[in-house]
Structure formats: C-alpha cells, structure tokens
Amino acid sequence: MKGITKALVFSSAALLSTSVLAFGERGQWSSGWGQGTSEYMAVNQYGDELYIACNPYEPVSMTLTVGDRTYGGGRYADGDFSLIIDGTEVQTPYDTVSRVGANNFFYAWENLRSATSIVALTSDGVHVELPSKGSFDALPEAFTEGYPCRTEF
C-alpha cells in the first residue's frame, strides 16, 4: 500500500508539473483549454504576459499583466494597452464593441500569428516586449474550424 501511495503521488506530481510547463512558459506562446474556454498566452522572460480567452458564448477577453498591474478590458484593469506588431500599432485590440474594434482584433490576431516583433504599450507609457516564438502554432487561423473567438460586434 505504501508503495502504491508513493507511485500515485509521484505520478500526480509529474502530470501537474507537465501541465504547468505546457501553458504559460516564458519566452514563447502557449495555448490551453479549460471550462469551455480556449486560452492563449505569451509570456516574456520577466513573467509579463498577454492573455487571450475565447469561447463561443462570450466576446473575446484580452489582458496584459505587467508585474502586479493588469491592463485591458474589465473593471479591475489599471488602464488600456495597445499592441505594436511588426511596427504597426493596434489600439485596444480587445475592445470589440464596434466594427472598427472587431476589425482591429482580427487584424491583431492574424498578424500575431506571423509576427517577428510584438510590443505592448500601456496607457501609462510602459513598453513591454513580448515573445513571438510559437505564436503561429498556438493561435489558430481566424475563421477556420478551430478558431474559437468571437467579438461583440
């Protein structure tokens, strides 16, 4: 019995450590799924992260976390942010309540997939470099069967 318990604890710990490393690994994009939501994350070497959540029942959610501050849509956000993708700025790509906003999100999504440079710019002037490594594999092509995001407009 003691050997079985140790084996179960070891197996559970190994599974847990694998899943933790699989989502949110520093220096690259990752994707995951939980509770009906597809999740996408880019984490830089300092632990700052861009997080995108998509499900078929709610509009896309996108947040940027820099240290202990969170930017993006939502009532607890410390401010807004824009993404500069290969030199082109996309303002508030998470604000999809209008046609322009929805188009900005789709533009950002498709360009994140092939980006070589991604920088987030917060409303209080902080520049955050984000990785582009793995974005093509993590983010499905828009408007295909595997694409789970929807906008408000």
Mean pLDDT along residues 138-144: 95
pTM, full prediction: 0.84
| Average pLDDT taken over every residue of the chain | 88
User: How far apart are alpha carbons 90 and 101 in whole angstroms?
Assistant: 10
Asked if residue 21 has pLDDT above 80, the reply is no
Q: What's the pLDDT score for residue 5? A: 42
* Residue 91 main-chain phi, psi, to 5 deg: -80, 135
pLDDT bracket for residue 74 (50, 70, 90): confident
Kindly report, residue by residue over 25-48, the tens digit of the pLDDT.
999 999 999 999 999 999 999 999
Give the DSSP letter string of 75-102: TT-S--EEEEETTEEEE-TT--SSHHHH
Q: Which residue has the higher pLDDT, 16 or 72?
A: 72
The full set of domain ranges for the chain reads: 25-138
**pLDDT reported for residue 24:** 87
Where residue 56 falls among pLDDT bands split at 50, 70, 90?
confident
Spatial CB neighbours of 102, under 8 Å, sequence gap ≥ 6? 96, 151, 152, 153
- pLDDT above 90 (res 137): yes
Q: How confident is the model at residue 16 (pLDDT cuts 50, 70, 90)?
A: very low
Give the residue with greater pLDDT, 15 vs 81: 81
- What pLDDT, on the 0 to 100 scale, is given for residue 2? 53
